[in-house]
A = this chain, B = another copy of it.
Amino acid sequence: MVHFDTDYMAGALPEVIEALVKTNLEMTPGYGSDEYCAKAKDLIRNACGDPSLDVWFLVGGTQTNSTIIDAVLGHHEGVLSAETGHINVHESGAIEATGHKVLTLPSYQGKVSPKDVEDFIKNFYADDTYEHMVAPGMLYISFPSEYGTLYSKDELKELSRICHENGIKLFLDGARLGYGLAASDITLAEIAQLVDVFYIGGTKCGAMFGEAVVAKSGLLNHFLPLIKQHGALLAKGRLLGVQYQALFTDDLYFKATASAITLAMRLKEGFVKMGYKPFIDSPTNQQFFDLPNIVIDKLQSVATFEFWGPRGAESSRVRFVTSWATKSEDIDVLLGAL
């Protein structure tokens, strides 16, 4: 059986788990004040090409989203997001639990349109009653989006311009950042320059767990107590430093995620050759197809993957996800069954 359900089904890259094993019985101080974290932060700052950036390590995506958003927004502010954004749909109300509204924008295959963002802000302040409404304080985007799509470099620049001209922070959810970078001409350094805060996803991109938050210097004031308050401060913080040190040594993070993109493209081409059309043309590690139920049934005899919505009468929408842990043979098995 091969697995394409999602990209957090396996443990960690061999280099990552080896680093954890190797350092396992060392004794270091807690909460990220150790040398491994310091080293890993330097590697990340270096990869981002900006030694002034602040770097923090958290454990998972939802806690990272809610801690960052809560830290940046004023009490009267909410966060703009595509209506399909993870924070709006799949975090059990974590943002609202911190007291902030998610202000939704139309989703274009998971992305927001720069024009919609600019119009929202303009219309907001043009409304006489705007003080009775929740002010937009931040724009949340995901890269790749929940539908596998990517903003172009021009789109990112445009979003950055709109946010900064209007005094709004731009936050990029990088839970799958490695896969996005591998499928795009945008570099890590460019993202670090264009957005105010983002994170380099570890959980889905080769780490056992962990998310590395990167922020413009001084944006996340008093962030350590806020991480603690949100229950997101790992006692054995060095586990995160050890992992990110491994990931950012010899470009491991980039190579591992690039492999997943190569395999995702092979998978897509295999389906397209057989005449199946993706209903979203995703350049990243999530691939979406409408398939006849009879084909789905056959594939399920060799592979697991997710339905994207309810099973239809004749055909259904399904999603295949590759990851750093996907092997070339896994694609063979899937396409073979096709």
Contacts and interface: CB of A to CB of B under 8 A. Distances in A.
A164 interface: no
B71 A8 contact: no
Ordered nearest first, which 8 A-B pairs have the shortest CB separation?
A63-B231, A11-B24, A9-B27, A92-B228, A92-B229, A76-B225, A93-B134, A3-B27
Nearest to A236: B8
Interface stretch (A15-23, A185-193, A256-264, A266-274): A15-23
A96 B94 contact: no
A8 B30 contact: yes
Q: Is the interface of A mostly helix, strand, loop or mixed?
A: loop
Contacts of A132: 90-92, 225, 228
A282 interface: no
Interface of A: 3, 5-6, 8-12, 14, 17, 20-21, 23-30, 59-64, 66-67, 70-71, 74-76, 78, 89-94, 96-102, 126, 129, 131-135, 203-204, 208-209, 221-222, 224-226, 228-236, 239, 310, 325
Contact of A27 (B93, B221, B222, B325): B325
A127 to B, nearest CB: 9
A20 B11 contact: yes
Contact of A100 (B71, B78, B93): B93
Given A76-B225, A134-B96, A25 B6 contact: no
A215 to B, nearest CB: 16
Contacts of A233: 60, 62
A92 B99 CA distance: 11
Contacts of A10: 24-27
A107 to B, nearest CB: 14
A28 B5 CA distance: 9
A137 B251 CA distance: 44
A226 B76 CA distance: 6
A125 to B, nearest CB: 12
A129 B97 contact: no
Contact of A133 (B60, B92, B204): B92
A126 B59 CA distance: 29
A25 B236 CA distance: 23
Nearest to A310: B126
A229 B93 contact: yes
Given A224-B131, A231-B230, A101 B90 contact: no
A223 B225 CA distance: 25
A94 B94 CA distance: 14
Contact of A24 (B12, B78, B102): B12
A28 B9 contact: yes
Nearest to A307: B128
Contacts of A91: 132, 228-229
